[in-house]
Each structure stands twice: as structure tokens, then as C-alpha cells.
Amino acid sequence: MRPAPIPEDAIWPGAKRIVLSAPNGDLTNEKIAPVEMLADVPASIGGVRYSARCMLEPGDLEKLVDGGHVWVSFYGGVPPFCVDVTDKDGR
């Protein structure tokens, strides 16, 4: 599974497209690549929410069906998070 580009029609009202870099701020870091994200401020949390869109890579689905797991890793801190699964239309 890897971060994927965010199509224009997947940007929800109030969100803006941003690029997050590695903790050292280097957009050319070869070990931790930058990722496109959406940033918004939901009233329910009162702070900024960052959302990345991810897609399966070849072989990922088979690993999951066979009992595999999804790991979520954070570099430079551990913020509150959630993991959502959407259909191909983002719903």
C-alpha cells in the first residue's frame, strides 16, 4: 500500500491540497518520500486534520485476504489517527 495522488474530484469542501515532507523538511529525502495530503479543520475536532489517499500495490489484496495486516507508521510524532476504506469513487 502506498500514498496515491489525490484527484480534484476527491477534495471535499473546506479541504486544501498540501505536500508533507519528511520530518527534516527535505522534499528530496530518499528514505521518506513527500506525500500529497488534504488538510482541513473539522469543527468536531477543533484542529487540523491531514488525510492521505492510499492505494493497494500488486499483491497487497492477496496478502490481506490471506490474513495480512495494514500498518500505519508516523515519522516525527504520533498524532491521533483513523483509517478509512472507501470505494473507487471515494465513498
Question: Does residue 84 register a pLDDT over 90?
Answer: no
Give me the residue spans of the domains in the chain: 2-65
pTM for this one?
Answer: 0.76
Q: φ, ψ for residue 82 (rounded to 5)?
A: -140, 160
Residue-wise pLDDT for 5-39, tens only, equals 999 999 999 999 999 888 888 999 888 888 999 99
Q: φ, ψ for residue 3 (rounded to 5)?
A: -60, 145
Q: What is the 3-state secondary structure (H, E, C) of the chain?
A: CEECCCCHHHCCCCCEEEEECCCCCCCCCCCCCCEEEEEECCCCCCCCEEECCEECCCCHHHHHHCCCCCCCCCCCCCCCCCCCCCCCCCC
- Count how many Cα atoms sit within 13 Å of the Cα of residue 47 in the half-sphere of its side chain: 5
